[in-house]
C-alpha cells in the first residue's frame, strides 16, 4: 500500500513538472517572452544589458501602432531578432531629412530620438510603405507603380554608390531589390515590365532611437507583418557591464514600463 502511495506521489510531481514545462513553452511562444538588449541602437530608451519582456499575443488581435517598440525577425537573416521603433505604418509616405522625420508630410515630434554628432544634410526618401491589398507593378517606362500611381524607389544617401547592403557581407543592392523586391518574382528589375500583383501582407518602416548608430529601415528595408514577434513593454532587469560591482545593477531601470502610445 505504501509503495502504491509513493508511486502516486511521484506521478503527481512528474505530471506537475511536465505541466509547468508545457505551460512555460506556451507562454513563451504565444504570450510573453524575455529578450536582452545587445546593442546601442535604441539608446537611451533601451540600454545594452537591459532585459525586457515582450507582449507576443497583442498583435494577434490588433496591428502595431506608430511609436510601438517592436521585436521582429530581421528580414535578411532568419536567426536574428531586432528591436526598433515603428515610425511609419502600411500606406504611409516617409521622408528622413537630416534629423527630421516626416510621415505623410507631417513632421514627427521625437523626444526619444538621439543624435550623436552634428546635424546631417542627407535626405532619405520619399518612400511609400506597402500595405496588404495594394496593387504593385512595373510598367514599360521602367518605373514602379503602387495602385496605379508612380512611386519613387530610394537611393542610399549615406553611400556614394547610392546602393544598399542589407547583409554585412552581402552584395550591394538597388532600392528596388531592398525595399520592394519581396513583392515581385526573384530577380525582378526595371528592365522588364511586371503585371499588377497584389501585396499579400502589411509592411512597417522602423528606426532605432539612436539615429546615428542604428541599422534600420533606412538601410535594409521594411518589416513584413509576418516577422513581428511582439511589443516591448517592461524592463525587468538591467545589468551594466562597466564600472564596479555596485554599479553593475541599474536599480533606476528595474520595473520600468516602456512608452505605450495611446493613439
What pTM was computed for the model?
A: 0.86
Q: How far apart are CA 57 and CA 230, in angstroms?
A: 7
Q: How far apart are CA 106 and CA 128, in angstroms?
A: 14
Helix (H/G/I), strand (E/B), else coil: 190: coil
Give 255's contacts (C-beta < 8 A, 6+ positions apart).
234, 235, 236
* Preceding amide of 176 cis, omega within 30: no
Residues 252, 257, 263: CA angle, nearest 5 degrees: 145
Helix ranges (H only) for the chain are 2-26, 175, 217-220, 245-248
**Residue-level pLDDT at 31:** 60
Alpha-carbon torsion, ordered 128, 132, 134, 140, to 10 deg: 80
Helix (H/G/I), strand (E/B), else coil: 160: coil
Q: Which domains are delineated in the chain?
A: 34-257 (2.10.109.10)
Q: What confidence tier does 151 reach under pLDDT thresholds 50, 70, 90?
A: very high
Residue 17 corresponds to which cell in the numbers above? Answer: 513538472
Q: What confidence tier does 243 reach under pLDDT thresholds 50, 70, 90?
A: low
* 49-64: average pLDDT: 92
Count of residues making up the chain? 263
Q: What is the pLDDT of residues 191-203, one digit of tens each?
A: 999 999 999 999 9
Backbone angles phi, psi at 60, to 5 degrees: -75, -25
Backbone angles phi, psi at 98, to 5 degrees: 65, -120
Q: How far apart are CA 258 and CA 44, in angstroms?
A: 12
Position with higher pLDDT, 5 vs 113: 113
Amino acid at each position: 500500500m505504501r509503495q502504491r502511495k509513493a508511486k502516486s506521489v511521484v506521478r503527481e510531481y512528474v505530471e506537475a513538472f511536465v505541466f509547468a514545462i508545457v505551460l512555460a513553452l506556451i507562454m513563451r511562444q504565444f504570450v510573453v517572452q524575455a529578450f536582452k538588449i545587445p546593442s546601442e541602437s535604441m539608446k537611451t530608451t533601451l540600454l545594452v544589458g537591459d532585459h525586457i519582456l515582450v507582449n507576443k499575443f497583442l498583435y494577434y488581435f490588433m496591428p502595431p501602432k506608430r511609436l510601438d517598440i517592436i521585436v521582429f525577425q530581421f528580414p535578411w537573416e532568419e536567426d536574428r531578432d531586432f528591436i526598433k521603433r515603428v515610425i511609419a505604418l502600411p500606406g504611409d509616405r516617409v521622408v528622413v531629412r537630416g534629423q527630421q522625420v516626416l510621415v505623410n508630410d507631417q513632421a514627427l515630434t521625437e523626444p526619444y530620438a538621439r543624435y550623436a554628432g552634428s546635424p546631417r544634410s542627407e535626405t532619405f526618401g520619399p518612400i511609400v510603405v506597402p500595405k496588404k491589398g495594394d496593387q504593385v507593378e512595373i510598367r514599360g517606362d521602367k518605373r514602379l507603380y503602387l495602385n496605379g500611381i508612380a512611386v519613387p524607389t530610394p537611393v542610399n544617401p549615406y553611400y556614394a554608390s547610392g546602393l544598399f547592403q542589407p547583409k554585412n557581407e552581402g552584395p550591394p543592392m538597388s532600392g528596388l531589390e531592398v525595399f520592394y523586391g519581396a513583392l515581385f518574382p526573384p530577380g525582378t528589375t526595371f528592365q522588364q515590365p511586371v503585371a499588377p500583383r497584389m501585396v499579400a501582407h502589411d509592411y512597417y518602416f522602423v528606426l532605432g532611437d539612436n539615429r546615428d548608430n542604428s541599422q534600420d529601415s533606412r538601410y535594409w528595408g521594411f518589416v513584413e507583418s509576418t516577422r513581428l514577434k511582439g511589443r516591448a513593454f517592461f524592463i525587468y532587469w538591467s545589468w551594466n557591464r562597466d564600472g564596479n560591482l555596485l554599479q553593475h545593477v541599474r536599480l533606476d531601470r528595474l520595473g520600468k514600463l516602456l512608452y505605450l502610445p495611446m493613439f
